[in-house]
A = this chain, B = another copy of it.
Amino acid sequence: MVGHAFMGTVHSQAWRTVNHAFDLPAQVELAAVCGRDHERVAAAAQRLGWDTHLTDWRELVARDDIDVIDICTPGDSHAKIAIAALEAGKHVLCEKPLANSVEEARAMVAAADKARQAGVRSACGFNYRRVPALSLLRNMIEGGRLGRIRHVRAAYLQDWITDPDFPLVWRLRKEVAGSGALGDIGAHIIDLAQYLTGDRLTGVCGLSETFVKERPLPGAPTGGLSAQGADGAPRGEVTVDDASLFLGRFAGGALASFEATRFATGRRNALRLEINGSLGSAAFDLERLNELEFLDATQPVAEQGFRRILVTEPEHPYMAAWWPPGHIIGYEHTFTHEVRDLVEAIVSERDPRPSFADALQVQLVLDAVERSAAAGSAWTPVPAGDDLPATA
């Protein structure tokens, strides 16, 4: 594993747990974790349960005893690590968004395509596909339970930077993070919208805003080149979007709206989806991830209503591995499901999903939104990558 911050921590929990929850055809070993700072990565290895630790990801890629590389770094290093790992014959799990640009993403897809011919697998970490409620919804839509899709409305609402004195962390710097709310959380709802509908966005129009233009530098010494806040602390420019909104059309004719923001006061992690079809509708909120709201419009009108399916039955995706009905699971379980599916795909020599190509398709939408926002919200077509999700 490369990286041991938030994503590294939760991935570690998944790798440690997966063999205890699922009957897998292989036994996972946590071989080595890699980080830039020797002291911090040593502590992380200890805390997170990794056998060894390193400070150079190239050494990790070079090791013979390692089969899978899990990339948990910021987006600016995804491409180089992933491509090197694939070339070294390592299976790769890469955190989302796949890359910081379409160009990088295309290079990664090319590397993945080449590696695949040698039986080397790759996947992108859109973990919310593995929320059981959303896996269930995917199955229901695929099975025709919602009929023809007319509307997708998706919002990912957070509020962790509403305080203008929240510091200028790496996620607020374009050169590291690629973009702000759009790439970080907007990427999730784009991927989910395309995954759930089995369709792809063909065009978008959007707008973005950075409400707080400058923020205190994290741990910066007083003085320097940067602007200063009222308290004299040095400030730097926020170079990413605080919020991005866009509208879109799907190939199959559905209309969609998307919103990604870090300024939705009181909404801590509200990834909300609603999908309306000719035969039914569904709604979801990540803050209640064990629940799926579903309306079956084929039932008698007097008994219709959105029902709260508590997605904790053994009949539900992934849930036979966990607790009795009504005993809920949490955020981290989505990663356990992700690595379970990855291990199963690798051992059975299948390509895991979402593939790098799936993730490129997300990247193409992100890119189109940014270009639209820069061009006065003009309608901007989204090109198709090589390996499209099937059209519903």
Is A259 located at the chain interface by the 8 A CB criterion? yes
Query: Please, what's the 1-or-0 string for A257-275, where 1 marks a CB less than 8 Å from any CB in chain B?
Result: 1010101111111100010
How many copies, total?
A: 4
* Pair B323/A331 contact, Cβ less than 8 Å: yes
Query: Please, what's the 1-or-0 string for A218-257, where 1 marks a CB less than 8 Å from any CB in chain B?
Result: 0000000000000000000000000101110100010101
* Pair B324/A6 contact, Cβ less than 8 Å: yes
Measured between beta carbons, the chain B residues less than 8 angstroms from A155 are 153
> Which stretch from A31-39, A99-107, A286-294 is at the chain B interface?
A286-294
Query: Please, what's the 1-or-0 string for A139-153, where 1 marks a CB less than 8 Å from any CB in chain B?
Result: 010000000001101
> Which stretch from A188-196, A202-210, A345-353 is at the chain B interface?
A202-210
Q: Which of A319-359 contact B (CB under 8 A)?
A: 322-333
- Contact among B247, B249, B265, B286 for A278, CB-based, below 8 A: B265
Measured between beta carbons, the chain B residues less than 8 angstroms from A21 are 13
Beta-carbon nearest neighbor of A277 in chain B: B265
Nearest chain B CB to A190's CB is how many angstroms away? 16
Measured between beta carbons, the chain B residues less than 8 angstroms from A13 are 17, 20-21
**Measured CA separation A306–B288 after assembly (Å):** 14
Query: Please, what's the 1-or-0 string for A1-37, where 1 marks a CB less than 8 Å from any CB in chain B?
Result: 0000010001011001100110000000000000000
* Pair A247/B249 contact, Cβ less than 8 Å: no
- Contact among B6, B17, B253, B288 for A288, CB-based, below 8 A: B288
Nearest chain B CB to A296's CB is how many angstroms away? 8
**Measured CA separation A16–B17 after assembly (Å):** 9
* Pair B279/A377 contact, Cβ less than 8 Å: no
- Contact among B157, B160, B207, B328 for A330, CB-based, below 8 A: B328
* Pair A266/B295 contact, Cβ less than 8 Å: yes
Is A65 located at the chain interface by the 8 A CB criterion? no
- Contact among B265, B289, B376 for A297, CB-based, below 8 A: B265
- Contact among B17, B249, B276, B331 for A266, CB-based, below 8 A: B276
- Contact among B20, B160, B253, B310 for A325, CB-based, below 8 A: B160
Measured between beta carbons, the chain B residues less than 8 angstroms from A259 are 151, 153, 257
**Measured CA separation A267–B366 after assembly (Å):** 30
Measured between beta carbons, the chain B residues less than 8 angstroms from A158 are 326
* Pair A206/B150 contact, Cβ less than 8 Å: no
Nearest chain B CB to A272's CB is how many angstroms away? 10
Measured between beta carbons, the chain B residues less than 8 angstroms from A268 are 310, 312-313, 324-326
Is A281 located at the chain interface by the 8 A CB criterion? yes
Assuming A49-B20, A377-B205, is B263 touching A280 (CB within 8 A)? no
- Contact among B140, B159, B207 for A205, CB-based, below 8 A: B207
Assuming A205-B377, A245-B257, is B330 touching A263 (CB within 8 A)? no
Measured between beta carbons, the chain B residues less than 8 angstroms from A12 are 20
**Measured CA separation A159–B12 after assembly (Å):** 36
Subset of 8 A-B contacts with CB under 8 Å: A10-B323, A12-B20, A160-B325, A263-B276, A268-B312, A292-B305, A295-B307, A327-B330
Closest 7 CB pairs of A and B: A269-B326, A268-B326, A307-B307, A266-B295, A305-B307, A330-B330, A305-B309
